[in-house]
Amino acid sequence: MGRNNERNIKKHNDKLHKAQNKVKQAEIARKEKLKEIIKKFNESKTEE
């Protein structure tokens, strides 16, 4: 049995893609939070 059989490759790719999606989701969440903070900051600037 070879190490690089179809099942092992699929398992590795699934794990890799899961990790990449996690990073991507974290980045999107960070950008959303930043938008909210900027929006609140701009609102407080206009009120003064």
| Structural domain boundaries, residue 22 | 1-48
Q: How far apart are CA 6 and CA 12, in angstroms?
A: 10
Per-residue model confidence as pLDDT tens digits over 17-37: 999 999 999 999 999 999 999
Sign of the four-CA dihedral 21, 26, 30, 36: positive
Would you state the pLDDT for residue 3? 77
Please provide residue 17's backbone torsions phi and psi, each rounded to the nearest 5 degrees: -65, -35
Work out the mean pLDDT of the chain and round it to a whole number: 91
Q: Into how many domains does the chain fold?
A: 1
Share of the chain above pLDDT 90, in %: 77
- To the question of pTM greater than 0.75 for the whole model, the response is no
Sign of the four-CA dihedral 14, 19, 22, 28: negative
Taking the CA atoms of the chain, what radius of gyration do you get in angstroms? 21
